[in-house]
Structure 1
């Protein structure tokens, strides 16, 4: 007896669904990068007003730089995923990566990239919240 595949239905939007899923992963990384970067910048902004010893202040500054480095790595990952799926040019990717290295400009860059990802995901039928996209 041969199997009957007459009722088998294929997902006609498989490519768009895979693209949206990858953009969703990149967007989540961008959101986390923004939050980590914001915490690191807030730490450096609050540090001069705190009454801490010089050694403790040094550790806090090093900690903020470690947080910033982590935010850059997360941001690079997220932006690369989003930019690759949205078929951005190499020049656009490089410029975005450079903007990610500049303090405060990186927050704006992450917000702009997040906005581009959100627009695509909403078009693809996803709902987008603070923690990312969901179907």
Structure 2
């Protein structure tokens, strides 16, 4: 007896759904990179007003830079996922990657890319919150 596939229905929006899932993964990475980056900037801003020795201050600054390097890597991953799925040119990807290396400007770049991802995800029927997108 051969299987009957006459009732089998295909998802016509499968490509769009797969794209939206990949974009939501990238967006989640960008959100985390943004929030961790904000936390890493706070000691740099607050440190001059505190009476901290140069040695301790140096270690704190070093620790924040290590954390920021991690957020750059996380942001690169998120931007690459989003930019690839949205069909951005290589020049646009490169420009965004370079912006991630500049302190404070990287936060703006992450917000802009997050906005583009949010717009796409909302068109695809996802709800977007602080923790990312969900259906």
TM-score, scaled to structure 1? 0.97
Q: CA RMSD in A?
A: 0.8
Q: Give the Cα–Cα distance (whole angstroms) in 2 for the partners of residues 53 and 94 of structure 1.
A: 39
Provide the secondary structure at the position in 1 that maps to 2:68. Answer: helix
Q: Give the Cα–Cα distance (whole angstroms) in 2 for the partners of residues 45 and 128 of structure 1.
A: 31
Q: Which runs of 5+ in 2 are unaligned?
A: none
* Structure 2 equivalent of residue 73 of structure 1: 73
May I ask how many residue pairs the two structures share in their alignment? 135
* Structure 2 equivalent of residue 103 of structure 1: 103
Provide the secondary structure at the position in 1 that maps to 2:103. Answer: coil
Q: Give the Cα–Cα distance (whole angstroms) in 1 for the partners of residues 83 and 50 of structure 2.
A: 40
State the 1:47 CA deviation: 1.0
TM-score, scaled to structure 2? 0.97
Q: Which runs of 5+ in 1 are unaligned?
A: none
